[in-house]
């Protein structure tokens, strides 16, 4: 009987092997392109989303999932433009938020003891009030100023790789119009006749808007973004479309890598790489950047300029490339805090197109008594070991010498980094067509942390987890409101800890300003965070700090750049 039993055992083993092989073959077949969803697909997907269902549960789901797939395909038949926002709007408000009831008031310090009729090239690094004084008094013309900045853009822009398109024809037309209006007594304000640069994710009618990415490098959007219109209405002169890392990540774009004016062998960080580099190098007096997770703070830091990330809902994003509808913000990058306040005053407010924007007064008083502010600081972050510790410690000492009593605070202890899936999911949706068409292969960067891979990976974020992340975001916003009942503003290291992502998620405004230099000679910075829609307070604090220091007045030795050889790290 033993041979028979052994034979039966061998037959059963062989049968099991056959069944196993058939199972694997079916699995591979269905994974590679079977038209119908099967239990094999569901079992594999469970691993990705951290769930486990029984065989009977998978069987029951199959028809529903097939039906959902058919619905997705129907939606795909109707292309969605990047500017089409979802019907669900994010608001930074939570119960208990109190807004400043004061009506809008805006005051700028009038520059004093300025020389008469300066040589035009000496004004390349001048702040906006100085340029405005000379234009308003007609000691220089807007055309002269515009031509000077265009010359600098042509000379240094190619070396810094910070310019995508010079808008020379438009700029000179706008400058001539500004001079005519000013000569007739029709002065529009501090930005009238002042050149500026736009991060090339802002639509400009008749001019390329490339988003810094190869698939879109010839794209023309046949209208102006709202901020472009508002600045034109203020009389500002658009001289250039400036670089951004492809689709608003980093400083690598389809034409190269934007370089840091302080060290041409380094990149200028991103994604507002071109705006920060151009302002730092004196190629434009100010520029408009954007931030979703550090894209104003980071390049402003390494380029040694001042950047303002406004409250979410303060500035219309209509006509700007969408990356995350609930996190994107547009803001100014300038030479100092007062310049940022001037630009902010021109671009804020609703336009009837971006429905997330609120009509809330903007108050800026450069003479406000800072001792009336309750000023906090992130003690544990400042006490830890990190690259900017030395310059930050000196900055805190300077602030104490200004007569300010710093209040130690800590940010909410919540899984902030995990909430980044909100950005990931929204970005994948914003560039859904790029992924499905496989044109994402055209993007310069193709590594694990680059957009093509992130867009693909984000397709597997479950809708339930995205919603729950936003629910946790609500808790985070509530916790932040509790902190702002203790302080009016707080000071944070620019790059240390969770502050950067956290405040981008909650929508709070921040100013980043230079506060020293690293051992390598590149700038460092400090970050000032304020209550919702109270940009004026953090800007007035930043102005006071800049009056007590001179870091914002330092400038790179830009004249040497055209002679240097370089090798990007």
Distance of CA 442 to the CA centre of its chain: 23
Low-confidence ranges of the chain (pLDDT < 70): 1-34, 101, 103, 562-569
Phi first, then psi: give them for residue 85, nearest 5 degrees.
Answer: -85, 155
* CA separation, residue 531 to residues 79, 92, 247, 414, 438 (Å): 39, 11, 29, 20, 42
Q: For residues 273 and 301, what is the distance between their CA atoms, to the nearest angstrom?
A: 11
What tokens were used for 184? 């007739």
Between β-strands 286-291 and 195-199, what pairing exists: parallel, antiparallel or unpaired? parallel
Number of residues written out for the chain: 569
* CA separation, residue 26 to residues 14, 22, 40, 134 (Å): 18, 6, 8, 77
Q: For residues 150 and 238, what is the distance between their CA atoms, to the nearest angstrom?
A: 10
Residue 28 confidence (pLDDT): 46
Phi first, then psi: give them for residue 116, nearest 5 degrees.
Answer: -80, 140
**Does residue 343 contact residue 511 with C-beta atoms inside 8 Å?**
no
Q: Coil, strand, or helix at residue 263?
A: strand
Q: For residues 140 and 156, what is the distance between their CA atoms, to the nearest angstrom?
A: 23
What tokens were used for 81? 């433009």
Q: Would you tell me how many other CB atoms lie within 10 Å of the CB of residue 71?
A: 10
Q: For residues 11 and 287, what is the distance between their CA atoms, to the nearest angstrom?
A: 77
Residue 26 confidence (pLDDT): 46
> What DSSP designation does 315 have?
B
> 169 CB contacts (<8 Å, ≥6 apart)?
none
Of 382, 384, 385, residue with least CA distance to 396: 382
Q: Would you tell me how many other CB atoms lie within 10 Å of the CB of residue 312?
A: 26
Q: Would you tell me how many other CB atoms lie within 10 Å of the CB of residue 456?
A: 12
Terminal C-alpha separation, the chain: 76
Q: Structure pTM?
A: 0.91
Of 205, 194, 208, 128, residue with least CA distance to 166: 208
Q: For residues 269 and 449, what is the distance between their CA atoms, to the nearest angstrom?
A: 15
* CA separation, residue 247 to residues 81, 89, 276, 348, 452 (Å): 15, 22, 17, 24, 10
Residue 7 confidence (pLDDT): 64
**Does residue 227 contact residue 203 with C-beta atoms inside 8 Å?**
no
Q: For residues 429 and 323, what is the distance between their CA atoms, to the nearest angstrom?
A: 9
Q: DSSP string covering 344-365, please?
A: HHHHBB--SSSTT-------B-
> What DSSP designation does 191 have?
T
Residue 17 confidence (pLDDT): 57
Q: For residues 550 and 336, what is the distance between their CA atoms, to the nearest angstrom?
A: 10
Residue 29 confidence (pLDDT): 45
CA torsion, points 275, 280, 286, 290, in degrees to nearest 10?
30
Helix then strand then coil, in percent of the chain rounded to 5, is: 45, 15, 40
For tokens 């304000």, name the residue: 189
**Does residue 111 contact residue 133 with C-beta atoms inside 8 Å?**
yes
> What DSSP designation does 374 have?
-
Q: For residues 386 and 137, what is the distance between their CA atoms, to the nearest angstrom?
A: 48
For tokens 């097939």, name the residue: 66
Between β-strands 510-517 and 523-530, what pairing exists: parallel, antiparallel or unpaired? antiparallel
CATH topology of domain 126-416+446-563: Amidase signature (AS) enzymes (3.90.1300)
Residue 81 gets the label, from left (phi > 0), alpha (psi -120 to 50) or beta, of beta
Residue 234 confidence (pLDDT): 98
**Does residue 331 contact residue 289 with C-beta atoms inside 8 Å?**
yes
Locate CATH 3.90.1300.10 in the chain. 126-416+446-563
Residue 496 confidence (pLDDT): 94
H-state helical runs in 223-329: 226-233, 273-280, 297-303
Residue 105 confidence (pLDDT): 85
CA torsion, points 196, 200, 202, 207, in degrees to nearest 10?
90
């Amino acid at each position: 009987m033993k041979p028979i039993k052994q034979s039966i055992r061998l037959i059963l083993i062989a049968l099991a092997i056959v069944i196993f092989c058939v199972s694997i073959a079916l699995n591979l077949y269905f994974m590679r392109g079977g038209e119908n969803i099967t239990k094999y697909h569901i079992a594999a997907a469970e691993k990705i989303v951290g769930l486990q269902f029984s065989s009977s549960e998978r069987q029951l789901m199959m028809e529903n999932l097939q039906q959902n797939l058919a619905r997705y395909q129907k939606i795909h038949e109707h292309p969605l433009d990047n500017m089409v926002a979802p019907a669900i709007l994010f608001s930074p408000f939570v119960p208990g938020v109190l807004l400043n009831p004061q009506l809008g008031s805006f005051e700028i310090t009038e520059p004093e003891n300025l020389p008469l009729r300066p040589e035009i090239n000496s004004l390349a690094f001048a702040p906006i009030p100085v340029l405005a004084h000379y234009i308003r008094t007609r000691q220089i013309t807007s055309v002269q100023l515009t031509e000077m900045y265009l010359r600098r853009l042509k000379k240094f822009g190619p070396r810094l790789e910070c310019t995508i398109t010079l808008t020379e024809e438009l700029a000179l037309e706008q400058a001539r119009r500004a001079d005519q209006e000013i000569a007739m007594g029709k002065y529009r304000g501090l930005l009238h006749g002042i050149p500026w640069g736009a991060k090339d994710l802002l639509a400009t009618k008749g001019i390329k808007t490339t988003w810094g990415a190869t698939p879109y490098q010839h794209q023309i959007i046949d209208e102006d973004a709202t901020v472009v219109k508002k600045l034109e209405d203020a009389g500002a002169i658009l001289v250039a479309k400036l670089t951004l890392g492809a689709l608003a990540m980093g400083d690598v774009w389809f034409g190269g890598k934007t370089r840091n004016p302080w060290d041409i062998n380094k990149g200028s960080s991103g994604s507002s790489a071109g705006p920060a580099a151009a302002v730092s190098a004196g190629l434009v007096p100010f520029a408009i950047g954007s931030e979703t997770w550090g894209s104003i703070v980071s390049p402003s830091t390494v380029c040694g300029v001042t950047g303002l990330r406004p409250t979410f809902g303060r500035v219309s994003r209509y006509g700007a490339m969408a990356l995350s509808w609930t996190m994107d913000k547009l803001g100014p990058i300038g030479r100092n805090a007062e310049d940022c306040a001037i630009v902010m005053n021109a671009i804020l407010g609703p336009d009837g197109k971006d429905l997330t924007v609120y009509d809330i007064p903007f108050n800026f008083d450069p003479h406000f008594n800072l001792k009336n502010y309750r000023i906090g600081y992130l003690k544990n972050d400042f006490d830890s070991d990190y690259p900017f510790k030395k310059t930050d410690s000196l900055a805190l000492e300077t602030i104490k010498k200004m007569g300010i009593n710093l209040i130690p605070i800590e940010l909410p202890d919540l899984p902030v980094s995990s909430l980044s899936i909100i950005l990931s999911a929204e970005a994948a949706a914003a560039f859904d067509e790029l992924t499905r068409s496989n044109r994402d292969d055209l993007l310069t960067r193709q590594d694990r942390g680059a957009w093509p891979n992130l867009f693909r990976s984000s397709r597997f974020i479950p809708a339930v987890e995205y919603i729950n992340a936003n629910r946790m975001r609500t808790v985070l916003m509530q916790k932040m409101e509790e902190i702002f009942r203790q302080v009016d503003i707080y000071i944070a290291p620019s790059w240390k800890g969770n502050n950067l992502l956290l405040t981008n998620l909650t929508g709070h405004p921040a100013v980043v300003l230079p506060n020293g230099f690293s051992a390598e000679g590149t700038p460092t910075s400090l970050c000032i965070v304020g209550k919702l829609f109270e940009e004026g307070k953090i800007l007035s604090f930043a102005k006071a700090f800049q009056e007590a220091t001179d870091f914002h007045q330092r400038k790179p030795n830009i004249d040497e750049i055209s002679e240097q050889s370089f090798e990007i790290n």
